[in-house]
Amino acid sequence: MPEILEIIRNAADLRRGVFPALQSIPRLVHLLTTEDGPDLRPDPSGQQHADAMATLAAEMGLSGVAWARQVHGDQVKSVTTGGFQGDADALICGTPGVGVAVRGADCPLILIAGRDAQNKPLWAAVHASWRCTVAGLTTKTLAIMHRDHAARLETMTAAICPSAGPCCYEVGREVQVEAQGRLGSAAAKFFIERDRRLLFDMWAANRTQLIEAGLNAPDIWVAGCCTICGDALFPGYRKDGSAAGRYAAVLGVRS
Ligand SMILES: [Zn+2]
């Protein structure tokens, strides 16, 4: 049985993560960078970051990649060109040749792709940090895809990338209180008490948001790789501290 997330090597021998479920969509290209680079720590509005994104666009056969300064909020932007987009934690695109990228260490990144009412491809990338998750960013992104882009949500495939998992992601009680305040009492099931620690299952919380928005459960793929206790391929903030790298999840459709 194939892995949910496979690790391959690109032409420059750098390791990349790919979801076979997303590779089955015609002309869709995607990748997850790893510790092999490029370095995505510099200021997202700066030239070094732009150069790293241009390298990824070229690797994927895209004319450009769009990215934003991630601010742990609920702002969603629809983009038609590559380049820096200002502040946002989710990007939506339907312009062939253009990719969207999000970056993370312990935060779940979510790639979504499917079709609109005219059967044209539509895709999005979400930075689902705990604050974004509690703010319902995944739900909001899918609602905007539906409202502004006529997304057929039942055609969408979603991939939840490596992040801090429910095995390790310890949070304070205030996170649970805020989650239940904003997402409703059903959010209680995303919190696990173990050894007097409170653990937040961000994978389950986002999976629920995807299903409640209209995706079919078999079309949601959770990599299941924890950036705290798993191997060192993907950077983790809690594991590596302030020197932690960032990995990117990028997807687009070739023109
Ligand atoms: Zn873990």
Confidence of residue 253 (pLDDT cuts 50, 70, 90): very high
Q: For 39-61, what is the mean pLDDT?
A: 95
- State the average pLDDT over residues 59-82: 98
Question: Is residue 70 within 8 Å of residue 103, measured between CB atoms?
Answer: yes
Distance (angstroms) between ligand 1 centre and the Cα of 202 equals 12
pLDDT level of residue 1 (50, 70, 90 thresholds): low
Mean of pLDDT values over 100-117: 96
Q: What is the mean pLDDT of residues 31-49?
A: 93
**Cα distances (Å, whole numbers) of residue 6 to 21, 70, 102, 123, 148:** 10, 26, 19, 21, 33
Distance 168 CA to ligand 1 centre (A): 4
Give the DSSP H/E element, type plus range, for residue 197: strand 197-200
pLDDT digits (tens, 9 = 90+) for 81-92: 999 999 999 999
The gap from C-alpha 255 to its chain's centroid, in whole angstroms, comes to: 22
Terminal Cα-to-Cα distance of the chain (whole angstroms): 32
Ligand 1 centroid vs 235 CA: distance in angstroms? 13
Ligand 1 mean position to 109 CA, how many Å? 16
Span from the CA of 12 to the centroid of ligand 1 (angstroms): 30
178 contacts 137 by C-beta, under 8 angstroms: no
Question: Which helix H or strand E contains 182, and what residues bound it?
Answer: helix 173-183
* 155 CA from centroid of ligand 1 (Å): 31
Confidence at 232, pLDDT banded by 50, 70, 90? confident
Quick one: pLDDT at residue 242?
73
Is the pLDDT at 140 greater than 80, yes or no? yes
CA dist 197 → 166, 219, 225 (Å): 11, 32, 20
Residues with CB under 5 A from ligand 1 (ion): 165, 167-168, 226, 228-229
Both tokens of 10, joined, read: 């690109």
DSSP letter (8 states) at residue 142 = H
- Tens of pLDDT, residues 156-170: 999 999 999 999 999
- How much is the pLDDT for 2? 66
Pull the structure tokens for residue 61: 């056969």
pLDDT value at residue 27:
94
Is the pLDDT score of 237 beyond 80? Answer: no
Q: How far is CA 15 from CA 61, 160, 218, 243, in A?
A: 17, 18, 27, 20
Q: Against a cut of 0.95, is the pTM above it? A: yes
Q: Of all residues in the chain, what percent carry a pLDDT higher than 90?
A: 89
What is the Å distance from ligand 1's center to 31 Cα? Answer: 22
Kindly list the strands in the beta sheet with 247-253, ordered across the sheet, starting from the edge strand earlier in the chain. 6-9, 15-18, 28-32, 247-253, 98-104, 64-69, 83-87
Rounded to an integer, the average pLDDT of 116-130 is 97
The yes-or-no verdict on residue 43 having pLDDT over 70 is yes
What residues contact residue 243 under an 8 Å CB cut-off, 6+ apart?
A: none
Ligand 1 centre to CA of 169 (Å) is: 7
